[in-house]
Structure 1
Amino acid sequence: MANKSDFKKLTRLLNESAVELIGEELAFNVYYWGAMPEHYDNPLHRHSYFEVCYVTEGEGYYYESDREYPLLQGTMFFSRPGMWHQIKSRTGLALLYVAYEIDEARSKREAVDRYLQLLHNNRIVVAQAEDSITAQTWRTLLALCKQDHYMVKEAVRCFACALLISFYSEFSESTEYEDLPDKQQVPAYLQRAKLFIEDNLTLSLNLQQLSGYLHITERHLSRLFAEKVGQTFSHYVQERRVQKAIELLLETDWTISRIAVETGFESIHYFTRVFTSKVGVPPGKFRRSQLSETPFINR
């Protein structure tokens, strides 16, 4: 449990070392950090920057836009620029807080636009946030203030920047990150998806199965194939099954029935129908013709 001395040290350390924070995509200018062991009432007011507060102890209320929100231990709340707001407590609140703005000149435009969506959200109070990444980062900063070595300030800067970035996921109403992974991850997702398909053609492959394996949504996986491959997921899988069947027909003496099983077709009749549709001739006739090169597969 933090005491008044810890709160004082944290306030000093953060205001000395975590005022200009520069991450890979976002940079921030901090107006002030605070750690107050006994916060009671403040006047109704507004400001031109973001402010986020985390209640570590006590009870009270947060008022914004004629709404009253109860504050308890573990509650986190978010004051947006230009919004009239007020904090009240009869018994006192132990608060950790930070006031900041985005340094747009040193940030990537896309990241700024995404973060600023918080201006239009209605999710401004998160109750029982103790287990969130944001709350854990607050607690890490509080623990760091008790350390006494020359790398403390560097560690504080790193965690402080991570804290401000984490506010986006904490207060965002969007599932955009889950649905739209970072663009740099797209090639990796596609590569893993294609490898999984290639290695598991005997299975009954579907979007739900593969998206679960990749930990992305079915919607996003479907869109990846449409936009980056130029085919639907099912079309791509079917083509890979037929291509594998062509290889097995030319390179093995397996029966048509066994090849149908090895390439994931539910029956020999369905295999023959799809193969004929794609290649132009049934699998048996194709094998007998001993084509010297793989034929063109119609799309």
Structure 2
Amino acid sequence: MKKIYEHIEIDRKKLINLFVFEASDTERVIPMHFHSNMELIYCISGSLRVWHEGKVTTLRNQDVMFINSNIPHSTQSLTENRVLVLQFPESFFANEQVMIQLNTAEQHPEEAVLAHLRALLMEIYHLHLSTGMYDYILTQSRVLELKYELVEHFGRASQVSSAVNTVKQQRIQTILDFIKAHYTENISLAETAHICGYSGAYLSRMFHEYTGQTFTEYKQILCLEKAIELLDTTDKSLTEISYETGFPNVKSFRKAFKEVMGKTPYEYKKSTVMY
């Protein structure tokens, strides 16, 4: 099973990582994870449920969603589907200093813009499959055209300079590393802030600004990911799992699991196949 921190290899020639999946198992849930790479999801057909940024979105035929860096997300195929996923390097929009806000399940872009975006995505996909020696050059050009469309129509300007942003990234990475090392100890925001040398209010603001999650939400995702691993690989009781993964009790574990995964730990254990 993939861990919450997913390492993605970007094809340097093509500037992206690309894959398509066709799901027929509607019980299969991809567990909560995040990565520094940005991700564009194109639901070519069928439907796909996406948990992200504290909400649930259902993508249907031809919907497109963009997930920015370090945003925890999880997916479940609600029907048989075909989904195209493009992943971009963390630095892809570094010069433009923007975040992309694109979710056609909630937004209604101009149809001409959306049609061009869809066509570009499919062209990139077909070029990706091509075996021509120099087709990667065409892929690069289409990826850069895609970049332009995303920035032009869906970009939101960053309010901080790159230098300031880099310092904040370093600070938050130190905090993330600390939480990853100690989340099973049920550490609090106040404890983390004190150990990392910040006030609780400052750490809370910085954490949410960078990750899009509250401290509690982020820590809970780590706890849930570990709990899912134990459910998949052991026969430990829910009491043992809740204790080992940093939940204060079984009740809070069950509640958090149901809210995020859409089913109880027992239902998950019975029916969900993970990778």
Q: Same fold (TM over 0.5)?
A: no
State the structure with more CA Rg.
1
TM class by shorter chain equals 0.3 to 0.5
Instruction: Give the structure-2-normalised TM-score.
Output: 0.38
Instruction: Give the structure-1-normalised TM-score.
Output: 0.35
Which has the bigger relative contact order, CA under 8 A and spacing at least 6?
Answer: 2
